[in-house]
Amino acid sequence: MTGASNDIAVTPVDRAIERLRAIYRNWSRDTTVAQMRSDWDAAFAGCSVPVTCQQVSAGGVDGEWIVPADAPRDKAVLYFHGGGFRIGSVASHRDLVARIADASGCRVLAVNYRLAPEHRFPAALDDALIAYQYLRDQGLRPADIAFAGDSAGGNLVLSVMLAARGRGLPLPAAAALMSPWTDLAANGASYESRAEADPIHQCAMILALAKNYLGKDGDPRDPLASPLYADLAGLPPLLVQVGDRETVRDDATELAAKAKAAGVETELQVWDGMIHVFQMFPEIPQAGEAIASLANFLRKHLHIGHQRAPQ
């Protein structure tokens, strides 16, 4: 009887945490970056919704179009995956991106930007800018493009817009961020206040990933590396989603507060009991709710009229 009650007590979030821990348990100091990337891709492989996937070279950057049925050809979401700028790919995020595409009714271009330590900052940012230019070269107006990304990909969403603004380029219609990593200096109070609640992402790990991305002499307060330190004025509408259990919670909440103060239309959603990028786990009911909300945001700003039923 005790065993049965323990099984009942296991929540979808608990199961997601165990999925993550099972990956990390296999890694040691001797595990190569290539093996880590392969393990991460394998752990999240597959696609749970009906979409068409087509590989593409986006101006020389490897990418993939993920397209739901009846998606308009004159609209697109540009997606940047997470993984601390060290791991992650279109393969590891294909299911998450596909669920966003399916819920929004919009095609998504996901790209494999270059990763560190082989390619440090600003290589990922340069690739992201090339992908944005590629979409515009295809005839898409910036008003018909939205950005989306999770974790380090959320960082890139902001950094690309800041870099584009600095170059006088037009900005996309809107941007959706899931658990964005905006402060590579890790100064948020949540790195301490959420340390016990966060099952995976501790401050030492975050700082190690930042150093891996920036190099030993890189500046973690460079606004294009840590958008929290940037002037955010003039950015398009933002949707920011974050779990309340995350050590990087304040990366999202402080970013949202700073954006609002700069006059940016910003919606912040803090999801109780949720972990870092909980949207990646279809078994968590709140993941579906968050994706539905994100899809509504994208449809609104891309002016995609029909509403899709969630899978």
Q: Which of 151, 159, 179, 226 is catalytic?
A: 151
- Residue 114 is classified by DSSP as -
Letter for the amino acid at 187? N
* Token reading at 263: 């006059």
Contact 98/172 with Cβ under 8 angstroms?
no
With b for 16 or more beta-carbon neighbours within 10 A and e for fewer, the 114-133 pattern comes to bbbeeebbbbbbbbbbbbbe
Taking each helix axis from N to C end, the angle separating 152-166 and 123-137, rounded to the nearest 10 degrees, works out to: 70
Contact 195/245 with Cβ under 8 angstroms?
no
Q: Mapping DSSP to helix (H, G, I), strand (E, B) and coil, where does residue 166 land?
A: helix
Contact 309/291 with Cβ under 8 angstroms?
no
Q: Mapping DSSP to helix (H, G, I), strand (E, B) and coil, where does residue 208 land?
A: helix
Block residue for tokens 């296999």? 26
The answer to whether 159 is a known catalytic residue is no
Q: Report cis status (omega within 30 of 0) of the bond before 50.
A: no
Where do runs of H (alpha helix) occur along 30-88?
33-43
The residues annotated with a catalytic role in the active site are 151
